[in-house]
């Protein structure tokens, strides 16, 4: 049985690789230096939780996200190096059927990273489509902790009912669940407001991580109905959502101007005020600096209430992850 270890979780994580597969689209090696600068800046400013996944980077870029993150971690020599926390998510691929497949997957991630994984997470639950598969994968996740291969385990895209079932299963083995990661932003409050997952996490002593806190970029103010849209499915989604979320963007812009902040910083700060660890993406130094501007201050109760009220009244909301369980 593994002895208790401290897992360093900062106030806010900068998940530069939280959406690693997207950040690797169009990737070439000339980006490495730029991404290293982003990593260095984040760590030197106290942002030391980095989230990735073994499914981020496929095809010719197989495992590239973890490889880069490991490289950046090794090459960083500044302050905060000892506090760097590497979190990765193991995909519930259909060919992963045995508990040993999760142990092997984590060992492969560690090999790519060049170091042990600090926080290993189940990327998604199979309860919505193949419930028979999940038990063995969860057993493997717990095995990783018991064998001392990771400092902590977490889950991703689990709702309160499934979370409590897994919590009971892990508690019987003496394996604590440290984190739960869900899609959470002003455009995606469903896991918290409707499912009540934050309340359950608080009861069980689990820290909630908010991925996509900027709504894939919709909450940054960089897009408008008359402007240019991203290509592909993301662009189609933006065209559907933008007309209906105008009141929220107006409110965000007003609060940002009154506080001399950006809309992104207000949206991220809102997540922090809700007691979560947001993991906004950053693939440039400018984006990293803007994200860090969300720290060191807090929205007041009136501002939070106004944002909450408008977010709840929107006709259009962000599409939920299809793997999110109840």
- Burial of residue 25 (number of CB atoms within 10 Å: 0-12, 13-18, 19+): exposed
Q: How far is residue 278 from each of residues 205, 241, 306, measured CA to CA in Å?
A: 18, 22, 20
- What are 176's two structure tokens? 């604590």
Contact between residue 108 and residue 83 where contact means Cβ atoms under 8 Å apart: no
Q: How many CA atoms lie within 13 A of 149 on its CB side?
A: 20
Q: Catalytic: which of 8, 27, 56, 76?
A: 56
Contact between residue 218 and residue 245 where contact means Cβ atoms under 8 Å apart: yes
Contact between residue 117 and residue 109 where contact means Cβ atoms under 8 Å apart: yes
Instruction: Determine the Cα–Cα distance for residues 314 and 312; give it in Å rounded to an integer.
Output: 6
The 152-156 sheet, strands edge to edge: 49-53, 85-90, 119-122, 152-156, 177-183, 207-211, 277-279
Active site residue 56: yes
Q: How far is residue 82 from each of residues 3, 48, 90, 132, 266, measured CA to CA in Å?
A: 20, 9, 24, 40, 30
Which residues are known catalytic residues?
56
């Amino acid at each position: 049985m593994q002895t208790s270890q401290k897992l360093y979780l900062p106030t806010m994580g900068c998940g530069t690789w939280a959406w690693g597969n997207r950040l690797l689209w169009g990737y070439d090696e000339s980006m490495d230096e730029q991404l290293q600068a982003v990593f260095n800046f984040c760590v030197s400013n106290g942002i030391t939780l980095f989230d990735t996944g073994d499914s981020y980077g496929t095809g010719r870029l197989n495992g590239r996200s973890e490889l880069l993150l490991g490289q950046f971690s090794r090459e960083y020599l500044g302050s905060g190096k000892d506090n760097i926390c590497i979190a990765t998510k193991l995909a519930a691929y259909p060919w992963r059927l045995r508990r040993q497949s999760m142990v092997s997957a984590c060992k492969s991630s560690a090999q790519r990273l060049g170091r042990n994984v600090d926080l290993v997470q189940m990327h998604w639950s199979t309860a919505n489509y193949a419930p028979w598969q999940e038990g063995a994968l969860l057993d493997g996740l717990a095995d990783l902790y018991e064998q001392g291969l990771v400092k902590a385990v977490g889950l991703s895209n689990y709702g309160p009912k499934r979370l409590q079932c897994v919590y009971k299963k892990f508690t019987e083995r003496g394996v604590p669940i440290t984190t739960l990661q869900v899609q959470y932003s002003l455009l995606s409050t469903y896991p918290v407001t409707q499912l009540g997952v934050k309340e359950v996490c608080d009861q069980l002593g689990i820290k909630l991580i908010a991925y996509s806190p900027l709504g894939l970029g919709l909450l940054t103010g960089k897009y408008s109905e008359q402007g240019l849209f991203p290509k592909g499915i993301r662009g189609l989604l933006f065209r559907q959502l933008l007309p209906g979320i105008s009141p929220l963007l107006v409110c965000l812009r007003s609060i940002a101007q009154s506080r001399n902040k950006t809309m992104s910083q207000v949206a991220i700060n809102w997540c922090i005020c809700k007691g979560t660890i947001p993991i906004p993406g950053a693939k440039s130094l400018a984006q990293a600096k803007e994200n860090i501007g969300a720290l060191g201050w807090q929205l007041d109760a009136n501002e939070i209430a106004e944002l909450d009220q408008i977010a709840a009244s929107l006709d259009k909301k962000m599409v939920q992850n299809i793997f999110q369980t109840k």
